[in-house]
Amino acid sequence: MAIPSSTLAASSPNILRPRPPAPAPLPLPPLLCPPSVPPPSRAAARSSRVLSASAPAALAEPSRAEPAPRRPPPAAWKHSSKSYLARQAAVLEIQQSPDLDAALERLGGLLKVQDLNAILRYFGKLDRMQDISKLFQYMQKHEKISAASYSSYIKFAGTSHNPLNALEIYNSIPDASMRINVFISNAVLSCLVKNGKFGIGMKCFQQMKRDGLKPDIITYSTLLAGCMKVNDGYTKALELIQELEYNSLKMDSVMYGTLIAVCASNNHCEDAERFFRQMVNEGHTPNEFHYSSLLNSYSADGNYKKAEALVQDMKSAGLVVNKVILTTLLKVYVRGGLFDKSRELLAELELLGHAKDEMSYCLLMDGLAKAGRTDEAKSVFDEMMGKSVKSDGYAHCIMISAFCRCGLLQEAKLLAKDFEAKFDRYDLVILNTMLCAYCRAGEMESVMQTLKKMDELAISPDYNTFHILVKYFFKEKLYLLAYRTMGDMHKKGHRPEEGLCSSLIFQLGNMNAYSEAFSVYNMLRYSKRNMCKALHEKILHILISGRLYKEAYVVVKDNAGSISKQAVRKFATAFMKSGNVNLINDVLKVIHASGNKIDQKLFNMAVSRFIVLPEKKELLLQLLQWMSGHGYAIDLSTRDLILKNSRFFGDELIKETLSKHRLSLKGVRSHKRKE
């Protein structure tokens, strides 16, 4: 069954690792050997991982080997096989040819699948994606393709940040049994996870299992690594571990490291400790990655005592306390408010040559700024600038935000200008920080220039960008501009803040922008299930003022229990006067169902609307029947009005209906008395 790819968007790399050793294939003659799939060693996997201390500790993706070229045959075989030598010569010529299409046309017929796979991997090592695509299309066209071909191509598509293409290729595999080949499935999941599509990857995984996939340890390791970057990653990680154990698979030290890092990134310190102990009890030896991940979990609440004890344990185990460990310990001190210790550790990092970039300084500056010690943060910033420490601009961001929080808007604006003068690189975090500074300072021209720069650099705005802009436009009383910005925010899938929506709805209503106010209400309603009940009544009054009765009916129908009886009565009266005549009966039924009693005045208004429209005879008759069925009487004035105009509807029909209504009403009342 094909897995949809329409929901894929921009890529965001993630973390994976190599697969465990496969059984060695039996030796076969060289021309019959299928391509082997030798995995990298676990030690190599561990040594290739990259640690990060500025955020929750993470693993970098080691380059997991795809099925490698087959083992060279014995010399006797090599020299005795002319066809083998011809194929090897053809492989070499194709690899070095400046015209791949012509070379394949001339020599491709000599080659077997394993030869083409070898060329595919050769191009992959050189990142020649255009040639990879051409070769793969040739292999598909001439049906010289295997599972190893698909897994290699999908892997290279992931490396080039093209998960959409990888998923399309996977869905195009004609053989259903090949689609659940574990190597191909793992390649697809790896591609999606590395490119930030964990949610799509999980959906694919579920579909693969339904189709018959038997996941292996690499499958779970791949998905577990994806849990690092998602909001519900901790819950997903535990579910994957439970499923893994249910399938009688065992966790290894690399998976434990990833799991501890997931716990740390989600502030589950106790669980991180529990998994660390469990790993040791199972006989796995912790390495620097395990220690740094557990150490990072202590930064959530600044538990420096446990952090110091862990570092001491690490030294006792003979492991090197490297830059990552010391920087993570600095993070723990900062989060715990131990700024004196933080300065001492920063001095030690400088002495060891580990403070050549801005990371350590930024940790201390950010902690001081958030503690309200802006002057001390500025002092660290000045010290860093004086030492010409390598910076990507994040130190500027921290200080700009600190100045904004303290109301030092002029200083924030000047520092933002200084950043623009010094740095030639931007990312979303930096641009949002500058945007916030300019918005708070009321620099409209600078705000527009920053937005223009985002467009020029093709940097997509996130929730913070939209939120900053909506608040700014609202503060400047540019309510329609705030509304349009919130509309863009909603289209991008971001949830607007309820308080800001409520204020904007009120202001739009005051300026008679009734449709726009209702649109903001709907944005909030569709993005948040539990919204403030008072907002339903607020929008109802705005819609009545704007004579948007159909929209008001929708609000009452869906939220009658959250709206006062007075407001419902006001709506009903307005609708009977001017609402869509085709919906009058529906409105009366909704009001009745909400527990509000319908009085004779409303009935009279409804009948009056029908009387002047003879073509609405059926609606009038339906109303009279519904009234009798629910115990509502027709007063004399309404009865006289109906009889006076009965010629338009048919005298006999109206008289018969009124007679039935009287009898039905008597029956209803008699039944109620008996009860």
pLDDT at 20 over 60: no
d(C-alpha 446, C-alpha 114), whole Å: 59
| Residue 116 CA from chain centroid, whole number | 38
Cβ partners under 8 Å of residue 377, min gap 6: 364, 365, 366, 368, 369, 398, 399, 402
pLDDT in the model for residue 649: 56
Beta pairing partners, 357: 390
pLDDT of residue 213 exceeding 50, the answer is: yes
**CA atoms of 298 and 316, how far apart (whole Å):** 20
Whether pLDDT at 653 is above 80: no
446 dihedral zone (left: phi>0; alpha: psi -120 to 50; beta) = alpha
pLDDT at 23: 43
pLDDT of 343 above 90: yes
Measured distance CA(379)–CA(264) in Å, rounded: 31
pLDDT at 41 over 50: no
Supply the pLDDT for residue 528.
62
Q: For residue 79, give Cα distances in angstroms to 30, 74, 86, 515, 561.
A: 12, 9, 11, 83, 88
3-7, 315-319, 373-377, 643-647: segment of lowest average pLDDT:
3-7
pLDDT at 240 over 70: yes
- Average pLDDT of the chain is 82
**Dist CA 552 CA 571 (whole Å):** 8
Better pLDDT: 426 or 414: 414
Confidence grade of residue 122 (pLDDT, cut at 50, 70, 90): very high
- The predicted pLDDT at position 614 comes to 77
Q: Is the pLDDT of residue 5 over 80?
A: no
Do the beta carbons of residue 602 and residue 573 sit within 8 Å?
Answer: yes
Residue by residue, DSSP assigns 408-475 as -HHHHHHHHHHHHHH-----HHHHHHHHHHHHHHT-HHHHHHHHHHHHHTTPPP-HHHHHHHHHHHHH
In which band, very low, low, confident or very high, does the pLDDT at 409 lie, cut at 50, 70 and 90? Answer: confident
Alpha helices in 284-393 (DSSP H): 288-297, 304-316, 323-335, 339-351, 359-370, 374-386
Task: Specify the pLDDT at position 606.
Answer: 85
Query: Which of 5-14, 319-328, 464-473 has the weakest average pLDDT?
Result: 5-14
> Which of the 8 DSSP states describes residue 595?
T
Q: Residue 663 pLDDT more than 60?
A: no
* Residue 655 pLDDT > 90: no
Position with higher pLDDT, 46 vs 282: 282
**What was the pLDDT predicted at 668?**
44
pLDDT at 293: 92
CA Rg value for the chain: 35
The pLDDT tens digits for 167-184 are: 999 999 998 899 899 999
- CA 148, 151, 157, 160 dihedral sign is negative
pLDDT by residue (tens digit) across 547-596? 999 999 999 998 888 899 899 999 999 999 999 989 998 999 988 888 88
Residues across the chain: 675
DSSP three-state, residue 64: coil
Give the mean model confidence (pLDDT) for residues 513-537. Answer: 86
